[in-house]
Structure 1
Amino acid sequence: MNDDERSEKMDLGKNILTFRKSLRLSQEKLGDEIGVTRQTISNWECNLTTPDAYQLIALANALHVSLDSLVGHSQESFLVEKVTNVEEEIMKANRLLKISIYILVFVVVLLIFVFISSN
């Protein structure tokens, strides 16, 4: 995942703004629905502050979206991230296996050389 995708995924403020506007809610109306001020909504949308867990739940309910959608996680992106992590672990394991094989071959060749030299 590149930096653009990561910042887009993690831009909670942008998501709040987008979902709020799609419902044609003002910052004041949304704030009233979840018990915060218009300024608080503005601060969240500008990523100056972030809502706490209870406020996130209230936001998701008020905006009629899941928490995952609100914070920018979809099932698809979650699965892609998990598969990518597994692939990276497999690549690391393969590199370690190759190194181990090279070391084993070197030791065997060295032992053969020592055995031949001693006879």
Structure 2
Amino acid sequence: MSFAENLKSIRKERHLSQEELAEIMGVSRQAISKWEQGSGYPEIEKLLLLSKKLNVSLDYLMLGEVESIERNKANNIIVPTGKITIKSYDGKSIVNCYKVLASHVMYKAKDDEPKYWLIGVNSGAIWGEKSIVLGWYTDEENIKKEMEEIVEAISLGEPAYELKYAIKVKNEMLRVKIDKE
């Protein structure tokens, strides 16, 4: 696919109008229209901003190449396409996610604490994005398997996904501990 086709497709996946994307980018709606028609291209600074704001790699934006989870060695793995409903680990929240992040926990985890967490992001809040912890994980392998299955569910158009690899946890004195019971 060409840049023009990719941009239009990604914009529609994000449920953005040309006007909304133009506002985000600080350009006119006509500029977005030209980019999507292939009759003009953004400056390199705007390409970088597009990549960041649409949460896709430059390769994907320009060439339509998707970086697989296995090749992504960064701490955060982002699933930038589609929406899916996921119930949180404690069953207290159901989140319609447009973005899912997998990351190391922000503190040094002890042996009896999970080392990774899965976060769902919903754009439906009035004040911007709302994120919630979906699940806790003891190892990178399980969180990667979870992410792969979420990606698969999204690609198949499934409306919901139930976490399979998250562990049970309990809160103890401001720390999250693995529930061994």
Instruction: Specify the TM-score bucket, using the shorter chain as the normaliser.
Output: 0.5 to 0.7
CA contact (8 A) 2:25 2:46 kept: yes
Q: 1:75 to 1:38 in 2, by over 3 A?
A: closer
Structure 1: stretches of 5+ with no match in the other structure: 1-7, 77-119
Number of matched residues?
67
1:75, 1:31 → 2: CA distance?
A: 24
In the alignment, which residue of structure 2 is the partner of 1:41?
32
In the alignment, which residue of structure 1 is the partner of 2:9?
18
Structure 1 or 2, whichever has the larger Rg, is 1
Q: How far does the alpha carbon of each residue in 1:4-59 deviate from its partner, in whole angstroms, 9 at most, with x for none?
A: xxxx3xx1010000000000001011011111011100000000100110010111
Q: Secondary structure at the match of 1:16?
A: helix
Question: 1:80-95, aligned counterparts within 5 Å?
Answer: none
1:47, 1:20 → 2: CA distance?
A: 15
1:72 Cα deviation after fit: 0.9
Q: Which has the higher helix share?
A: 1
In the alignment, which residue of structure 2 is the partner of 1:109?
none
Name segments (4+ residues, structure 1) moved above 4 Å.
none
Aligned identity (percent) is 39
1:61 Cα deviation after fit: 1.3
Structure 2: stretches of 5+ with no match in the other structure: 68-181
Give the TM-score, by structure 2 length: 0.35
CA contact (8 A) 1:31 1:38 kept: yes
In the alignment, which residue of structure 2 is the partner of 1:68?
59
Give the TM-score, by structure 1 length: 0.53
1:74 Cα deviation after fit: 2.8
